[in-house]
Structure 1
Amino acid sequence: MTFDTLKLQAETILSNTEKTVNQRLMQICELLEANIEHYNWVGFYFKNGDKNELKLGPYVGEPTDHTIIPFGKGICGQVALSNKNFVVPDVAAQDNYIACSITVKAEIVIPIFVNGENIGQIDIDSNTPDPFTEADERFLEFVCEKVSEII
């Protein structure tokens, strides 16, 4: 399935006000994981109130012990501080990486902004080495922009 087709499906999911925000976010996770071969774990992390930490939201994939991530720790924690996309072609080469599974080879994290504030992120793990392209990055930015409209 092409990113253009997935964009339309994501918009349809996110615009369905009959479902809760969390239900819609879970549907986004399911859509991406099921339709993009190299997306093996798809989830959302959000700022945990006034704390300098992220809290795991809806996700699809292997269970994770990382339900709370302090700002600065791991890829997600670094994105919480930098406010920038982080594409990791090889997680083994990252000093500040939190291993979720030995099968994970690469990760991409894209922040979600509401009124200029980084309120969370989408996190994708891949069991394929170096799978993420600029097209993945642009597509996930689109998804995050649409998610920001319902938060």
Structure 2
Amino acid sequence: MTFSELKPEITKITTNASTTSDEKLLNICKLLETSVDYYNWVGFYFKNGDKHELKLGPYVGEPTDHTIIPFGKGICGQVAVSNQNFVVPDVKAQDNYIACSITVKAEIVVPIFVNGENIGQIDIDSNTADPFTEADERFLEFVCKEVAKIL
């Protein structure tokens, strides 16, 4: 499925009145992981209350020990501080990378903003080297804007 074909599917998930927010987030993870062949782990992290850390939300893929990530640590922790998208073509080239699986070769993290505040992010790992393009970034920004509407 192309990103333009996925957009209405994302909107359908986020506007489904019969599902909870967590169910919607999990359904988005499932849709992305099954529809984009190089999205091998798809999940959400959210700011953990008043703490300077992220807490793992719904996700699809290999289990991870990284359920809490301090701000500034790893790619997700850096996005929590920078408020910027972070595309990592080769995770081995990153000094501040938290390895979730030895099969992961690339990662993309896009923040979610609610009322101008970075409240979380979508995190995608790929077992393919350097797969992410600007089209992935724009699409995931769209996903994050749709997700922001349900939070």
Correspondence list, 1:36-55, <5 A: 36-55=36-55
Correspondence list, 1:2-151, <5 A: 2-151=2-151
Give the distance between the partners of 2:95 and 2:2, measured in 1 at CA.
34
Q: How many residues align?
A: 151
Structure 1 residue 17, shift from structure 2 partner: 1.6
Structure-2-length-normalised TM-score: 1.00
2:55 is paired with a residue of what secondary structure?
strand
Task: Report Cα offsets for 1:69-92 as digits up to 9, x if no partner.
Answer: 000000000000000000000000
2:99 is paired with a residue of what secondary structure?
coil
Structure 1 residue 45, shift from structure 2 partner: 0.1
Give the distance between the partners of 1:148 and 1:90, measured in 2 at CA.
29
RMSD (Å), alpha carbons: 0.3
Give the distance between the partners of 2:149 and 2:35, measured in 1 at CA.
23
Structure-1-length-normalised TM-score: 1.00
Unaligned 5+ segments in structure 1 are: none
Moved over 3 A (4+): none
Unaligned 5+ segments in structure 2 are: none
What is the identity, as a one-letter code, of the residue corresponding to 1:136?
A: D
1:108 is paired with a residue of what secondary structure?
strand
